[in-house]
């Protein structure tokens, strides 16, 4: 296999000359190099963070590229070991199952022309009709009054008691989790969550010195008796639930 510096140089050229999304371009570069015999069975690919830095991409894009390559049967990844080429040639795939990336929420890349056209129209509407200068500046803490009213209307179906300034708009889920964990739990205390939950909760809790406990559940959600048992033994300050899992 070539040196990593040469590989990065070649893949940078592919990215600069390709009009496809970066994650697809990387997956196709891997496939092409396997077909040409440049990448061979059991060749190790660069770690995701190293490749992201070398290609000047974000971690999520490269992780998605490797995931796409796994779906095509080109590589296999093992936690703590790395990613390796897994086929002998372009027509012979091994039966080894691939791993599923579950540490990030990655929405499918839209491909439908109608949806892409609507997205472009929406972006133009925002920049043409709104105050573009304001959109590129730091936003008001908690969101503007219009932001809060829009959120209140959106929430009305599930929580009709929120109006105006009772809604706080945050810059993202990570900032929200950090604020809630600091305010409701605090370092040295315990946060409960479903046994299978959003990985960012555990990562954030670890950074803040908060202990996490997984509560077993069934098809209806967590088991109340299990939660009660944990609360009797541990100093539980809060419960995090993810309704989409």
Domain ranges of the chain: 4-85, 113-166, 173-240
Identify the CATH class of 4-85: mainly alpha
- Calculated CA dihedral for residues 199, 47, 52, 179, nearest 10 degrees: 20
Q: Quick one: fold of 173-240?
A: Rossmann fold (3.40.50)
pLDDT at 103: 64
Average pLDDT taken over every residue of the chain: 82
Q: In CATH terms, are 4-85 and 173-240 the same topology? A: no
pLDDT tens track for 59-72: 889 999 998 898 88
Confidence bin at 89 (pLDDT 50/70/90): very low
145 or 162, which is more confident: 145
Classify each residue of 3-34 as buried b or exposed e, where b means 16 or more C-beta atoms within 10 Å of its C-beta.
Answer: eeeebbeebeebbeeeeeebbebbbbbbbebb
Strands (E), the chain: 75-78, 82-85, 190-194, 211-215, 217-218, 221-222, 236-240
Are 46 and 9 contacting, i.e. CB atoms less than 8 angstroms apart? no
pLDDT at 88: 47
Q: What is the mean pLDDT of residues 11-18?
A: 84
């Amino acid at each position: 296999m070539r040196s990593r510096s040469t590989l990065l140089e070649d893949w940078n050229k592919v990215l600069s000359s390709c009009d496809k999304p970066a994650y697809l371009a990387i997956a196709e570069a891997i496939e092409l190099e396997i077909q040409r015999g440049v990448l061979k069975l059991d060749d190790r690919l660069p770690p995701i963070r190293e490749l992201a830095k070398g290609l000047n991409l974000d971690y999520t894009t490269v992780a998605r590229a490797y995931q796409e390559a796994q779906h095509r049967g080109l590589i296999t990844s093992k936690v703590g070991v790395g990613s390796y080429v897994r086929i002998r040639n372009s027509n012979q795939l091994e039966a080894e199952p691939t791993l599923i990336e579950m540490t990030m929420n990655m929405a499918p890349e839209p491909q439908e022309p109608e949806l892409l056209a609507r997205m472009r129209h929406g972006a133009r509407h925002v920049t043409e009709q709104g105050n573009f200068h304001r959109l590129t500046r730091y936003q008001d803490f908690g969101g503007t009054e219009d932001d809060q009213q829009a959120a209140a209307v959106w929430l009305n179906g599930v929580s009709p008691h929120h109006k105006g300034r009772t809604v706080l708009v945050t810059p993202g889920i990570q900032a929200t989790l950090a604020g809630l964990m600091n305010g409701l739990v605090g370092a040295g205390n315990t946060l409960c969550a479903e046994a299978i939950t959003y990985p960012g909760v555990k990562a954030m809790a670890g950074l803040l010195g908060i202990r996490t406990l997984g509560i077993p559940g069934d098809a209806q959600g967590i088991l109340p008796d299990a939660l009660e048992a944990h609360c009797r033994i541990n100093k539980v300050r809060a419960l995090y639930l993810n309704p989409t899992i």
